[in-house]
Amino acid sequence: MTMKLELIVPVKRKQNWRGNYQLAPIGLMYVAASTPEDVEIAITDEHIETINFDKPVDLVGITSMTAEINRAYEIADEYRRRGVKVVMGGIHPSTLPHEAIQHSDSVVIGEAEGVWQNVIKDFKDGRLNKFYSSEIRPSLDNLAFPRRDLVKGKKYLTKNIIQTTRGCPFSCTFCTVTNFFGNTYRYRPIKDVISEVESLDGNFTVFIDDNILANPKRAKELFTALIPYKKRWVSQSSINLAKDKEALALAEKSGCIGMFIGFESISQESLQAIKKSTNQVSTMRDSIKRIHDHGILIEGAFIFGLEEDNRDSLLRTLDFAMEMRFSAVNFFVLTPFPGTQIREQIEKDGRIIEKDWSKYNNFTVVFKPKNMTPKELQDMAIFAKQQFYSYPSIIKRHFPPKKHVLASLGYNLLRRRSTTKRS
């Protein structure tokens, strides 16, 4: 009898605008690609569909970030109540495996590629271990393409998601990436990336690298290789993109229309405190102009609630974001995720005020800020979003029009909807 595997993405709340801009779950698509061919696989993503607990299944795999972990545990508990074995993985279970094992039969710690086939074999043999962890990071050479066929027909913004690198050598105090993917960059061979590009339908692609410019020489080789395919693409990069004229020109020529960039703060003191060494406030304006001059939209990210933040500094941050005419902005509330340096410090100071993981969503204040009350910080985050996505702000930032203005306007209107509903 064929073994049936169900892979699940949990979600804690109705997605409103996010449901329209949801990306296909590439992490589970990679897990599926690592699964032996004799296993029947399905993916259920709660962002867009409902779990059918009555569906016959032999093994369930659940991935989860911190904000969704309570829902993940609910799902796991229900399947186990029905006699179905559950394996958990992802950033939160990897960080707190002994918590996750209370709700599952097994926990995969870190990337699945190095151990997943062992998990399946052990399950078939009836000897599933509690914990699986690879001693070395999996090589990205000859990495199997993610199983896009498993999300065919489902309504995502795009299924054309490609990962070309993993890992990060930096040690930003608020970030969970390094713990999960390691502190060195690993690269897929460019020929493999291009083969994957060739396999995709449509002309829009999302490269989900944490920093596609991690190695400028390699990035420029990738951009050059992309040019003949005439794709439109977006990704994430450090502000260092602006320093490399050749990289900027090649990114534009290869079809880059937008970059997500973590600015985090306009205070150099705050940037130093969180070890964001790549960012220099003195050059931000010039860097942003250079990127915009190449027709590349910027979605900026800022963190509200850093140690030096107060109401005035956050208002200045809002003014800066509007002045720079960012296509979009995320004003994230500082969230001390488990496993991060900043959580260790805040916990040591006794300033954690909320232990409900569902509140760890980059929007809700879960700690005592130094220079504001939790309510003041929460109110400032709401106010900044409302102001940035107000109609006057949207019009002012988009006129006179920049390149790709229609796509940017559509995105802004969706973000405005979410801001209005959430507040």
Tell me: the pLDDT tens digits for 220-269? 999 999 999 999 999 999 999 999 999 999 999 999 999 999 999 999 99
- With the C-alpha atoms ordered 307, 312, 318, 324, is the resulting torsion angle positive or negative? negative
Residue 164 pLDDT greater than 90, yes or no: yes
Of 168, 179, 253, 274, the residue nearest 215 (C-alpha): 168
> How many residues belong to the chain?
423
pLDDT at 19 over 80: no
- The ranges assigned to domains in the chain are 3-133, 160-422
Across the range 297-303, mean pLDDT stands at: 98
- For the entire predicted model, the pTM comes to 0.94
**H or E, element range at 86:** strand 85-89
- Mean per-residue pLDDT for 44-70? 96
Q: Which two tokens stand for residue 131?
A: 């914990």
Domains 3-133 and 160-422 share a fold: no
User: What's the pLDDT at 135?
Assistant: 85
In the numeric block, the tokens 């993981």 are attached to 357
Q: Which fold has domain 160-422?
A: TIM Barrel (3.20.20)
Question: Quick one: pLDDT at residue 420?
Answer: 53
Write out the two tokens for 21: 């801009």
Percent of the chain topping pLDDT 70: 97
Instruction: Write down the pLDDT at residue 423.
Output: 41
Answer yes or no: is pLDDT of 415 > 70.
yes
Q: Residues with Cβ < 8 Å from 318, sequence gap 6 or more?
A: 331, 383, 384, 387, 388
Q: What is the pLDDT of residue 28?
A: 97
b/e map of 140-158 (b: 16 or more CB within 10 Å)?
beebeebbbebbeebebee
Rounded Cα–Cα distance for residues 47 and 67 (Å) = 14
Cα–Cα dist 354/357, whole Å: 8
pLDDT at 17: 44
Domain over 3-133 is classified CATH 3.60.9.10: no
pLDDT tens digits for 170-220?
A: 889 999 988 899 888 999 999 999 999 999 999 999 999 999 998 999 999
Strands (E), 242-383: 256-264, 297-304, 328-333
Supply the pLDDT for residue 20: 55
